[in-house]
């Protein structure tokens, strides 16, 4: 049963990854990774998290369904994880939109600036933007500790999810402590986005 689940999960995950790639190519960024790029033209922590958890959880849900042709039960911890990711993404998006409308100094891709040496430079898209500051004079130059922490938590819990799912041969269950950890990490991430950077 475990091997069947892993095979079906792999197929489901590949299908979802291909669909995510097509969605990215259909975006204005015309890149297979376009689904990870926000309205500022930057690689986004929010979108990385949402895509990661949607692909992991939905593909394992699909695999469990195709094994039995019955709607599988999903542990409440996974629903909480999805809820935290969606809520955090929506809140962070609202904060970013508010700052964009207020005309704050944002490190948008394509924006020109003068370096410390007086050289004209342009902000380019790079994956490291998922954990770099977006605002103020330090935008795209220094690591945001809250974004970096959230990135690390996401990667570690995603790996844990995969290991548990393979071990259990089905949709895993997270402990309440793991959900608290991701909730605290997301709370810190949101709190870190609210202040204006000079």
Instruction: Give residue 35's domain range.
Output: 2-193
**pLDDT given at position 73:** 87
What is the domain count for the chain? 1
Task: Look at residue 198 and tell me if it is in a domain.
Answer: no
Predicted confidence at residue 198, as pLDDT, reads 66
Q: Is residue 108, in this structure, part of any structural domain at all?
A: yes
Tens digit of each residue's pLDDT (9 = 90 or more) over 21-44: 999 999 887 788 999 999 888 999
Cα–Cα distances (Å) from 126 to 93, 110, 164, 184, in that order, read: 20, 12, 31, 27
What is the Cα–Cα distance from 156 to 110, expressed in whole angstroms?
32
Residue 78: pLDDT over 80: yes
Please list the helix, strand and coil fractions of the chain in percent, rounded to the nearest 5, in that order.
Answer: 65, 5, 30
pTM, two decimals, is 0.86
At 108-160, the pLDDT tens digits run 888 887 666 677 778 889 999 999 988 877 778 889 998 999 999 999 999 99
Evaluate whether 189 touches 146 at the Cβ level (below 8 Å).
yes
Position 84 in a domain: yes
Span 174-195, average pLDDT: 88
């Amino acid at each position: 049963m475990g091997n069947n689940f892993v095979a079906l999960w792999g197929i489901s995950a590949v299908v979802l990854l291909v669909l995510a790639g097509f969605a990215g190519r259909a975006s204005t960024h015309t890149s297979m990774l376009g689904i990870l790029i926000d309205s500022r033209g930057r690689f986004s922590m929010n979108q990385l998290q949402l895509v990661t958890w949607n692909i992991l959880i939905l593909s394992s849900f699909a695999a469990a369904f195709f094994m039995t042709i019955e709607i599988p039960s999903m542990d409440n911890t996974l629903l909480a994880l999805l809820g935290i990711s969606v809520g955090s993404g929506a809140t962070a998006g609202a904060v970013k939109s508010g700052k964009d409308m207020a005309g704050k100094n944002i490190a948008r891709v394509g924006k020109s600036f003068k370096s410390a040496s007086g050289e004209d430079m342009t902000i380019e898209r790079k994956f490291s933007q998922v954990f770099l500051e977006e605002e103020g004079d330090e935008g795209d130059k220094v690591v945001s500790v809250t974004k970096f922490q959230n990135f690390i938590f996401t990667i570690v819990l995603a790996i844990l999810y995969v290991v548990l799912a393979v071990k259990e041969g089905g949709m895993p269950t997270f402990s309440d402590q793991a959900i608290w950890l991701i909730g605290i990490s997301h709370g810190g991430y949101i709190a870190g986005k609210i202040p204006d950077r000079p």
